[in-house]
Amino acid sequence: MTALLDGKALAATMRAELAGKVTAFAARHGRAPALAVVLVGDDPASHVYVASKVKQTAEIGMRSVEHRLDASCTEAELLALVDALNADPAIDGLLVQLPLPPQINAASVLNRIDPAKDVDGFHPVNAGKLAIGEAGLVPCTPLGAVALAKLARADLAGLHAVVIGRSNIVGKPVAQLLLQENCTVTIAHSRTMDLPGLCRSADLLVAAIGRPNFVTAEFVKRGAIIIDVGINRVMSADGKARLVGDVDFAAAAPLASAITPVPGGVGPMTIAFLLSNTLRAASLRLG
């Protein structure tokens, strides 16, 4: 029997727990934790993500402040807004939704965010803290991926984990977190040789590639735990768009001991950990 790792359900449980903690925080500090979200331009997917973040923030009793800038805004304008939000004592968490328009250097903007308010965990200070095992703010999607792996097996120590993908926002931080869980970690990428053979040695396989249905049965060791981070929009035969992961679910699931669905796996966990990071940032700032 293959266990389905239900991110939607786990995220709902997390939000219920967070709502209680937010109430306690507000009672103690006289205000709820506050998240500022900056959205630049008209990217439709970004608008959907930001709306979802703002809605869920409010649902658990936190305050959210949305700032929208025109697609033509300059890097200097965006940096000035980041500076103002960094300096605002009523703001605990700050994120700038990616992608940014081409005239803006994303790294310059992310590096300008106060690391203490960096709820996406992308600032080099927080990436460095994760790498050396110091407490900091950790990226949300990797936290969600590892939480789902631990739902399959509470103690991951000693497992061989293969992470496909080496991006700074998913692959590398997932690998760091799995190292902290005492896995033996291999990071695979587009230049890895015999990728299916390597993946067949994985007890825990994490796919963060961005290619629909890339991981097929030949990648999967019998009994492996599979975490699919991929979110890919594809056209069905009926002409409708649907979301699929990086894993060919129908082919891989029968071999796995546990697997995440797409949608409903890692996706919902990302926002749950954003809320958790915001409460954490607020608690660390206000004591």
Is 21 in the active site? no
Which of 94, 215, 224, 231 contacts ligand NAD by CB under 6 A? 231
Euclidean distance between CA atoms 131 and 124, whole angstroms: 10
* x-marked contacts with ligand NAD along 143-172 as a string, rule CB under 6 A: ---------------------xxxx-xxx-
Catalytic one of 92, 114, 118, 120: 120
Alpha-carbon gap, residue 122 to 254, rounded angstroms: 36
The tokens for 148 are 């789902």
Q: Which residues contact residue 132 at a Cβ distance below 8 angstroms, ignoring those fewer than 6 apart?
A: none
- Closest distance of CB 243 from ligand NAD, Å: 9
β-bridge partners, 118: 94
Residue 286: DSSP 8-state: H
* Nearer of residues 158 and 196 to ligand NAD, judged by Cβ: 196
Of residues 25 and 268, the one with the C-beta less far from ligand NAD: 268
Complex with ligand NAD: residue 32 or 139, whichever CB lies closer = 139
Which string of x and - marks every residue 188-227 that binds ligand NAD (by CB under 6 A)? xxx-x--x------------xxxx----------------
Is residue 53 flagged as an active site residue? yes
State both tokens at 18: 């967070």
Looking at 53, 129, 172, 221, which residue is catalytic?
53
- Residue 229 binding ligand NAD, by CB under 6 A: yes
Which tokens is 181 given? 């869980």
Sign of CA dihedral 111, 116, 117, 120: positive
The distance of closest approach from Cβ of residue 7 to ligand NAD in the complex, given in angstroms and rounded to an integer, is: 9
Instruction: Assess whether 120 carries a catalytic annotation.
Output: yes
Rounded to whole angstroms, the Cα distance separating 93 from 116 reads 8
The Cβ of residue 30 has, within 10 Å, a number of other Cβ atoms equal to: 8
Structure tokens, 50? 């930001």
Place of tokens 């206000």: 286
The reply to whether 141 sits near ligand NAD by the rule CB under 6 A is yes
Distance CA 87, CA 119 (A): 16
The stretch among 127-135, 187-195, 234-242, 247-255 that binds ligand NAD (CB under 6 A) is 187-195
When asked if residue 180 is in the footprint of ligand NAD (CB under 6 A), the reply is: no
Among 232, 243, 251, 284, binds ligand NAD (CB under 6 A): 232
- The closest alpha carbon to 278, from 43, 32, 30, belongs to 32
Rounded-to-integer distance, Cα 286 and Cα 283, Å: 5
Q: How many residues bind ligand NAD (CB under 6 A)?
A: 25
Whose Cβ is closer to ligand NAD: residue 192's or residue 283's? 192
Smallest distance from ligand NAD to CB 283, Å: 24
On the question of a cis peptide bond just before residue 101, with omega within 30 degrees of 0, the verdict is no
Which residues form the catalytic set? 53, 97, 120
Instruction: Write out the residues near ligand NAD by the rule CB under 6 A.
Output: 141, 164-167, 169-171, 188-190, 192, 195, 208-211, 229-232, 246, 266-267, 270
